[in-house]
Amino acid sequence: MLNAKKLTTEETLQTITLKAPYLLFIGSETEPIYAKTAAGLAHWVPEKCMGQLSLPGGTIDLGLPKHDVVSAAKAGAKSLVIGTSAVGGAIPAAWMPTLIQALESGLDIVAGVHTKLNEMPELVAAAKESGASLVDVRVPPKDIPVGTGLKRTGKRLLTVGTDCALGKKYTALAIARAMQERGIDADFRASGQTGIMIAGNGIPIDAVVADFLSGAAELISPNNSADHWDVIEGQGSLFHPGYSSVSTGLLMGSQPDAFVVCTEALRTHIKGWPDFELPSIPAVIDRTIDLGKQVNPDIACVGISVNTSTLPAHERAAYLENLSQLYGLPAIDPIATGADAIIDALLGSE
């Protein structure tokens, strides 16, 4: 079972180049939580997103111009990016006419769902006919080694969550960007399909065979200079009944020096698993430290990040201040307030 081959990060990190501008395809989605790929691209790389396309019944609005495939192609779109990811990651049959039309119009199709575009004969045939490309993002590299657990040089921060889809990626991106703006040597490290599309490289950790999860995480944040920070995008939750295995492997392989707990204001239950209550922030901190200290005895929580979009704007400041006072940690909303308070605490603890 052990993999004896030692690979460099350059050989294993998946690097992708997507043709911009993008037409973000949202299908018939009505739940924002399942349109997070489209929302993430629209927020973090808006200059690459020229429009959005929904099918009948879809209600998600990203604030982008609305197009069909033909009008988008005429307006200069180069790629149709599937911007949704429902539980299971399938591509519905109802999407096929739109996807085929996109290929016939010369648009590449980009997807980060578990179903592979290049394994769908209709799409493969249409792409071959038009010369367009099918780009599967959620494909891990081959020959990922088993995790070693050995300490690596450099410093690491991991975002962890009370649940899925509540801000771990946004928090990591905001922290990395704020660090870079301060002149700190830092990189955002992508572990999911949307993060990879934004960063241009990474490993889709939830597509890795379980035995190699921690090894993949080690490759995401390799040895680096002593003052370098890797800010690693978290996945799932250690408390999630469906996805905790991914979260555990990512934690063990990341060996974080610091972590930030991410949650959503007013969310009470695991999204899509109504029988499971959301864990408390202290419970997440305790479990993360209990597991993480196996590979990094100095692991510490340095802040709380809250998606406050469910709160009235005038309640945000008091809500965050209450959390900060309650737990003795800086509490931010990475979009509304920025990440400076957490960076101040992080640098002060060094």
Q: What is the pLDDT of residue 88?
A: 53
- The two domains 19-136 and 155-348 share their CATH topology (first three levels equal): yes
Q: How far is CA 271 from the centre of its chain?
A: 17
Q: What is the pLDDT of residue 163?
A: 97
Tell me the two tokens of residue 193.
């399909």
pLDDT in tens, the chain (350 residues): 233 334 444 555 678 889 999 999 999 998 888 899 999 999 999 999 999 999 999 999 999 999 999 999 999 999 999 999 765 567 888 999 999 999 999 999 999 988 899 999 999 999 999 999 999 999 998 889 999 999 999 999 999 999 999 999 999 999 999 999 999 999 999 999 999 999 999 999 999 999 999 999 999 999 999 999 999 999 999 999 999 999 999 999 999 999 999 999 999 999 989 999 999 999 999 999 999 999 999 999 999 999 999 999 999 999 999 999 999 999 999 999 999 999 999 988 66
Q: Which of the following CATH numbers is that of domain 155-348: 3.10.20.30, 3.40.50.11060, 3.40.50.300, 3.40.1160.10?
A: 3.40.50.300
Digit-coded pLDDT (tens) for 33-52:
889 999 999 999 999 999 99
Question: Residue ranges of the alpha helices (H) in the chain?
Answer: 9-12, 36-44, 69-74, 96-104, 121-130, 168-181, 193-199, 213-220, 244-254, 281-292, 316-327, 340-348
Assessment of whether the complete model's pTM goes beyond 0.85: yes
Q: How far is CA 136 from the centre of its chain?
A: 16
Fold held by 19-136: Rossmann fold (3.40.50)
Tokens 């901190």, residue located = 285
Q: Reduced to 3 states, what is the DSSP secondary structure of residue 295?
A: coil
Q: Reduced to 3 states, what is the DSSP secondary structure of residue 277?
A: strand
User: Residue ranges of the domains in the chain?
Assistant: 19-136, 155-348
Tokens 């200079």, residue located = 225
Show the 3-state SS of 208-240: CCHHHHHHHHHHHCCCCCCCCEEEECCCCCCCC
Q: Tell me the pairing of strands 14-15 and 201-202.
A: antiparallel
